[in-house]
Amino acid sequence: MSMVETDIDAVLPRLAAAVNQRIGFRPADVMGKIASSLAGLAMPDRYAYTQRLAISPPGDLAWSRLVEAMLVHETYFFRHPAQIELLCDQVLPELDARRRQAGRAMLSAWTAGCSTGEETWTMALVAAGARVGSAPLPMSILGTDISETVLAKARTGAYPRLHALDSFRAIPAWAAPHFTGLSEGRTWTVPAELRHAVSFVAHNLLDPPPVTGADLVLCRNTLIYFDEAAKRRAQGHLAAALRPGGVLVLGAADTLDDPQAFEPIEAPAATVYRKLA
C-alpha cells in the first residue's frame, strides 16, 4: 500500500466525521457514499480534494455537492396517512380553536426536511380541505431542507406522474378531486390558490429553527439518518420552534427524546405530540 493510499484511508473517516458534525448523519452510514463521490478522481487528486472538503465552509460548492450525495429524497403526497387523518380529525381543529381564542389570523406550520416538497404541499391541501365555515383553514406553511436542489423543485410545485410508486401513490379519496385527470406521463402542478401561504427556505436541522411560535412542526423520515447526539440537538430545535400547545409530528420510526416536555395525542395507528406549557 502506498503512502497516498494510507493517507486517504486516514482522511476518509475525518471527512465522515465532518459530515456528522455539520449535518448529523452517522459516520458509518456515509463512508461508502463518500468513497463513491471520490471514486472518479485520481488518487493524488482525491487526497487533495478530501483535505479541502474537510476544512471547507458550509457554503462551499464542493461541500454542497458532497452533501447532496449523502441525502435520500424519498417522499410523496399524503405519506403516513394515519398521521394525516389524525391531524385532520383532531389536531388541526384543536389548534384552530386555540388560534381563534387567541385572536390570531393564521396557524403556522413548519415541515422540516421537506425534500422535493410533497409533504409541504400536502399540508396546504389539508388546510384547503379543513374548512372554517365556508373558508379554508388559514395556515402559513414553511418547508425547509438542507438541499437547494430539491428546494428548487419544491418551489415549482410541478410533479410528473411516472409510475405506481411516484409522488401520487397514496392520494386519499377526499383529496382526489385536486388530481383529476392526472395520468401517466402528465405533470400535476400545485394550484395557484394553494401557493400564497407556502414558502421554502434552506435550513440545516442542526442550526437554530427558522421559525418560532409555530402551531405545527413536522419532521418525518429525516432524523432516522442522524446519530443520537445530532438527533437530540435537532429535536431540541424542533421543540423550540413550537408555541406551548403546538404539535410535533415525527416519523413512525422516531423516538421522542424529551417526553416530559410533551403529551402524546394518539390514534390507533398514529401518535403525535403536544408541547406542554
Domains of the chain: 3-70 (no CATH), 81-275 (3.40.50.150)
Q: Quick check: 236 pLDDT over 90?
A: yes
Question: What average pLDDT does range 236-261 have in this prediction?
Answer: 96
Using the predicted structure, report yes or no on whether residue 177 has a pLDDT greater than 90. no
pLDDT reported for residue 162: 82
Residue 7 has pLDDT above 60, yes or no: no
- Given this model, what pLDDT does residue 133 score? 66
Q: Give the pLDDT of residue 180.
A: 75
Confidence grade of residue 10 (pLDDT, cut at 50, 70, 90): low
Query: Quick one: pLDDT at residue 176?
Result: 87
Whole-model pTM: value is 0.92
Which whole number is the average pLDDT over 158-187? 83
Report whether pLDDT(64) > 70. yes
| Alpha-carbon span 175 to 27, nearest angstrom | 40
- Residue 5 confidence (pLDDT): 47
> Phi and psi of 98, rounded to 5°?
-65, -40
Q: Has residue 134 got a pLDDT over 90?
A: no
Average pLDDT over residues 211-229: 96
**According to the model, what pLDDT value does residue 209 have?**
98
Question: Minimum mean pLDDT among 52-56, 73-77, 88-92, 238-242: which range?
Answer: 52-56
What is the identity of the amino acid at 54? A
pLDDT for 2: 42
- Predicted confidence at residue 9, as pLDDT, reads 62
Kindly report the average pLDDT of the chain as a whole number: 90
Q: Could you tell me the pLDDT band of residue 1, with boundaries at 50, 70 and 90?
A: very low
**How sure is the predictor about 8, in pLDDT bands with cuts at 50, 70 and 90?**
low
